């Protein structure tokens, strides 16, 4: 059982959690993720680790309410607990001195891009960050990103904050202005990552994306997260989650991610109809678990 020490909304529907997970906190590197299961009827979902504190033994997760499990998780508060958290999984980001690195975060993808941006900066790179969001109130982690970037640009779809437009508009602008770019890291919705890949392909700029395919175990056992990379199947959980954007077949990824759309919709509607009851059930299970753990130690 993993106790939630802090929980606060960063934006509507986007919550930041600090969770006690000492083993994971000791080992986590930028780019890695955990699999969580909230309760004993729950599904296993992957969430990228935003940062960790090995001394305090905590990891931070940033979660956007999209389906039943993320809605349920975002209903939890400090003091609540999560039944299962396992990790850190996946390969860490390839952090080394490249020169100039452009880090692009779209929506909640910014939370995933941030730790790698910070690590790239520590490795001596010049870091240019582009944060994209639908609208002003969905811009997250701007301060943190600015603190680890040499330059930061914010773009919103509706122009309510920063420049109006897409992250690729800003990227194209940088390229046109002759800014030397050695690596681009893009994390966000599949269409955004695909658009970034197309923008940099002709320029031959090495581009990395972090893929959010559907997973179950997260250890390479099930193969559900397989993605087509240069025509070969690779597993996002153990071979990734980061891949060379110019080799990824985004069409296959987008299709595979829709596999359970109808059931996800059904589960979410059912959750919304009795949210309070289900949150209480998670709390009840965690109390039981805590009691049995305390009993076991005596």
Partner 1 sequence: MSDEVIKHNPLPLKERMKINRQHMPEQAPQARAANFEEVNLGYLPELAKQEALRCLACAKPNCMHDCPVGVKVREFIDLVLAGDYLGAAAKVREDNVLPAITGRVCPQDEQCEGGCVLGKKGSSVAIGHLERFVADYEQAVGKLGLPEIAPASGKKVAIVGSGPAGLSAAGDLIQRGHKVRVFEALHELGGVLVYGIPEFRLPKKIVRQEIDNLRAMGVEFETNVVVGKTVTIDELFGEEGYDALFVATGAGLPQFLNAPGENLNGVYSANEFLTRINLMRAYRFPEYDEPVYNCRGKDIAVVGGGNTAMDAVRTALRLGARNAYLIYRRSEAEMPARVEEIKHAKEEGIQLMTLTNPVEFLGDENGWLRAARCVRMELGEPDASGRRRPVAVTGSEFDLPITMAVIAVGTTANPLVQSTTPDLKTNKWGYIDADPETLRTSKRGVFAGGDIVTGGATVILAMGAGRKAAKSIHDYLATGAWEKVEPQKPALD
Binding mask 27-66 for partner 1 (x = CB under 8 A): x---------x---xxxx----------------------
Contact 246, 291 (CB under 8 A): no
> Alpha-carbon distance 264 to 267, whole Å?
5
Q: For residue 288, how many other CB atoms are within 10 A of its CB?
A: 12
Spell 244-272 as b/e; 16+ CB within 10 A means b: ebbbbebeebeeeeeeeeeebeebbeebe
First to last CA, the chain: 18
Residue 238: closest CA among 216, 260, 208: 216
Q: Report phi then psi at 147, rounded to 5.
A: -65, -25
Among 64, 69, 100, 125, binds partner 1 (CB under 8 A): 69
Contact 245, 207 (CB under 8 A): yes
Find the shortest distance in angstroms from Cβ 238 to partner 1.
7
Among 8, 12, 203, 260, binds partner 1 (CB under 8 A): 260
Among 89, 192, 195, 205, binds partner 1 (CB under 8 A): 89
Q: How many CA atoms lie within 13 A of 81 on its CB side?
A: 17
Among 165, 252, 275, 289, binds partner 1 (CB under 8 A): 252
Cβ-based nearer residue to partner 1, 143 or 262? 262
Find the shortest distance in angstroms from Cβ 268 to partner 1.
10
SS3 for 90? coil
Strand 81-82 relative to strand 2-11: parallel, antiparallel, unpaired?
antiparallel
SS3 for 281? helix
Q: Report phi then psi at 163, rounded to 5.
A: -85, 150
Find the shortest distance in angstroms from Cβ 91 to partner 1.
10
94 forms part of the interface with partner 1 (CB under 8 A) = no
259 forms part of the interface with partner 1 (CB under 8 A) = yes
Q: Please choose, out of 7-15, 93-101, 102-110, 222-230, the segment that lies near partner 1 by the rule CB under 8 A.
A: 222-230
Find the shortest distance in angstroms from Cβ 41 to partner 1.
5
Cβ-based nearer residue to partner 1, 144 or 264? 264
Cβ-based nearer residue to partner 1, 32 or 100? 32
Binding footprint of partner 1, residue count (CB under 8 A) = 41
270 forms part of the interface with partner 1 (CB under 8 A) = yes
Q: Where along the sequence are the contacts to partner 1 (CB under 8 A)? A: 23-24, 27, 37, 41-44, 68-69, 83-89, 216-217, 219-224, 226, 228, 233, 235, 238, 252, 255-256, 258-260, 263-264, 266-267, 270
């Amino acid at each position: 059982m993993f106790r939630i020490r802090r929980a606060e909304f960063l934006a509507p529907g986007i919550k930041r959690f600090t969770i006690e997970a000492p083993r994971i906190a000791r080992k986590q590197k930028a780019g890695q993720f955990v699999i969580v299961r909230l309760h004993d009827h729950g599904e296993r979902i992957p969430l990228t680790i935003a940062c960790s504190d090995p001394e305090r033994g905590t990891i931070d997760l940033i979660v956007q309410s999209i389906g039943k499990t993320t809605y349920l998780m975002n209903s939890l508060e400090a003091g609540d607990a999560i039944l299962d958290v396992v990790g850190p999984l996946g390969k860490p980001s390839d952090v080394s001195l490249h020169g100039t690195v452009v880090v692009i975060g779209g929506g909640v993808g910014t939370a995933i891009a941030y730790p790698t941006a910070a690590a790239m900066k520590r490795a001596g790179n010049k870091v240019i960050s582009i944060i994209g969001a639908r609208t002003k109130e969905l811009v997250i982690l701007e301060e943190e990103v600015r603190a680890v970037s040499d330059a930061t640009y914010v773009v919103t779809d509706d122009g309510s904050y920063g420049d109006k437009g897409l992250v690729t508009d800003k990227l194209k602008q940088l390229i046109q202005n002759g800014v030397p770019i050695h690596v681009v890291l893009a994390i966000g919705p599949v269409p955004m990552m695909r658009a970034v890949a197309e923008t940099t392909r002709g320029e031959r700029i090495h581009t990395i994306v972090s893929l959010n395919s559907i997973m179950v175990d997260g250890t390479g056992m099930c193969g559900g997260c397989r993605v087509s990379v240069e025509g070969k199947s690779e597993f996002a959980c153990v071979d990734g989650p980061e891949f060379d954007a110019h080799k990824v077949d985004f069409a296959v990824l987008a299709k595979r991610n829709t596999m359970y759309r109808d059931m996800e919709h059904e589960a979410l509607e059912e959750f919304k109809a009795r949210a309070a009851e289900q949150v209480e059930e998670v709390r009840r299970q965690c109390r039981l678990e805590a009691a049995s753990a305390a009993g076991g130690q005596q």
